[in-house]
Amino acid sequence: MKKVIVSRVLMLLAVSLTLVGCGRSGGSNVDSATGWEINAKEGGFQYNTKFKEQETPPGTVFIEGGTFTMGRVQDDVMHDWNNTPNQQHVQSFYMDETEVTNQNYLMYLDWIKQVYPPEDENFRKIYEGVVPDTLVWRNRLGYNEVMTENYLRHPGYGQYPVVGVSWIQAVEYANWRSDRVQEKALQEEGYLKQDSQYEATADANFSTDTYINAPTQTFGGNEDILRGGRLKPQTDANGEEINVYASRQTGIISPKYRLPTETEWEYAALGLSEVRSYNVYRGRKKYPWDGQYTRSGNRKVKGDQLANFKQGKGDYGGIAGWSDDGADITGQVKSYAPNDYGLYDMAGNVAEWVADVYRPIVDDEFNDFNYYRGNVYTKNAITEDGTVKIVTTDEIVFDTLPNGKVVARDLPGEIAQVPVDEDETYLRTNFDRSDNRNFRDGDRRSSRGYDDFEEIEGQEEVTTSKMYNSPKHRTEVDSAGNMIREWDKSSKRTSLINDEARVFKGGSWKDREYWLDPAQRRYFPQNMATDYIGFRCAMSRVGSKSKSKNKTKN
Q: Please compute, for residue 435, the number of CA atoms within 13 A of its CA located in the half-sphere on the CB side.
A: 6
Tell me the pLDDT of the chain averaged across its residues: 86
The C-alpha atoms of residue 506 and residue 524 are separated, in whole angstroms, by 13
Q: Residue 283 has what pLDDT?
A: 65
Cβ neighbors of 78 (< 8 A, separation 6 or more) are none
Q: What would the mean pLDDT of 118-147 be, rounded to a whole number?
A: 95
466 pLDDT tier (thresholds 50, 70, 90) = low
Q: Which of 76-85, 222-231, 275-284, 347-356 has the highest mean pLDDT?
A: 347-356
The C-alpha atoms of residue 259 and residue 95 are separated, in whole angstroms, by 9
The C-alpha atoms of residue 397 and residue 416 are separated, in whole angstroms, by 9
Task: Give the residue, 461 or 414, on which the prediction is more confident.
Answer: 414
DSSP 515: G
Angle at CA 113, nearest 5°, toward 57 and 173? Answer: 35
**DSSP secondary structure, 127-182, as one string:** HHHHS--GGGG-BTTB--HHHHHHTTT-GGGTTSBP-S--HHHHHHHHHHHHHHHH
Q: Residue 36 has what pLDDT?
A: 94
243 pLDDT tier (thresholds 50, 70, 90) = confident
231 pLDDT tier (thresholds 50, 70, 90) = confident
pLDDT in tens, 379-416: 999 999 999 999 999 989 888 888 888 899 889 999 99
The C-alpha atoms of residue 390 and residue 203 are separated, in whole angstroms, by 11
pTM score of the predicted model? 0.90
Query: Do 306 and 287 contact (CB within 8 A), yes or no?
Result: yes
Q: Residue 237 has what pLDDT?
A: 79
pLDDT in tens, 316-332: 988 887 667 889 999 99
Q: What would the mean pLDDT of 215-232 be, rounded to a whole number?
A: 91
Report the candidate in 68, 66, 67, 70 with the shortest Cα–Cα distance to residue 362.
70
416 Rama sector, left if φ>0, alpha if ψ -120 to 50, beta otherwise: beta
3-state SS assignment for residue 357? strand
The C-alpha atoms of residue 148 and residue 411 are separated, in whole angstroms, by 29
Report the candidate in 379, 410, 380 with the shortest Cα–Cα distance to residue 202.
410
**The CA-based dihedral angle spanning residues 422, 427, 428, 432, taken in that order and rounded to the nearest 10 degrees:** 50
The C-alpha atoms of residue 237 and residue 43 are separated, in whole angstroms, by 7
Residue 29: exposed, middle, or buried by beta-carbon count in 10 A (0-12, 13-18, 19+)? middle
Question: pLDDT at residue 78 above 70?
Answer: yes
8 pLDDT tier (thresholds 50, 70, 90) = low
DSSP 407: E
208 pLDDT tier (thresholds 50, 70, 90) = very high
Report the candidate in 342, 270, 160 with the shortest Cα–Cα distance to residue 506.
270
List the single range of 34-48, 266-280, 346-360 with lowest mean pLDDT.
Answer: 266-280
List the single range of 20-29, 140-149, 220-229 with lowest mean pLDDT.
Answer: 20-29
Question: pLDDT at residue 9 above 60?
Answer: no
Question: pLDDT at residue 552 above 50?
Answer: yes
The C-alpha atoms of residue 290 and residue 284 are separated, in whole angstroms, by 10
Query: Do 467 and 495 contact (CB within 8 A), yes or no?
Result: yes
Task: Give the residue, 18 or 480, on which the prediction is more confident.
Answer: 480
Residue 214: exposed, middle, or buried by beta-carbon count in 10 A (0-12, 13-18, 19+)? middle
488 pLDDT tier (thresholds 50, 70, 90) = confident
Angle at CA 396, nearest 5°, toward 390 and 400? Answer: 140
Question: pLDDT at residue 294 above 70?
Answer: yes
pLDDT in tens, 154-191: 999 999 999 999 999 999 999 999 999 999 999 999 99
**DSSP secondary structure, 190-236, as one string:** TSS-TTGGGG--SSS---HHHHHH-GGGGGGG-HHHHT-SSPPPEE-
Between strands 406-410 and 474-477, the pairing is unpaired
Report the candidate in 52, 428, 416, 59 with the shortest Cα–Cα distance to residue 209.
416
Query: Do 353 and 262 contact (CB within 8 A), yes or no?
Result: no
Task: Give the residue, 346 or 319, on which the prediction is more confident.
Answer: 346
Range 39-46, long-range pairs (CB < 8 A, 24+ positions): 41/234, 41/236, 42/236, 42/237, 43/236, 43/237, 43/238, 43/240, 43/242, 46/242, 46/243, 46/249
Between strands 406-410 and 417-419, the pairing is unpaired
Q: Residue 5 has what pLDDT?
A: 54
- Side by side, the strands of the sheet bearing 533-534 are 521-525, 501-505, 351-357, 533-534
Q: Residue 476 has what pLDDT?
A: 80
Question: pLDDT at residue 139 above 80?
Answer: yes
Q: Residue 7 has what pLDDT?
A: 55
- Where do the domains of the chain lie? 1-45
Inter-CA distances, 161 with 166, 271, 499, Å: 14, 21, 27
B/e letters for 57-93, b = 16+ CB within 10 Å, e = fewer, are bebbbbbbbbebebbbbeeeeeeeebbeebebebebb
Q: How many of the other CB atoms lie within 10 Å of CB of 207?
A: 25
The C-alpha atoms of residue 507 and residue 512 are separated, in whole angstroms, by 7
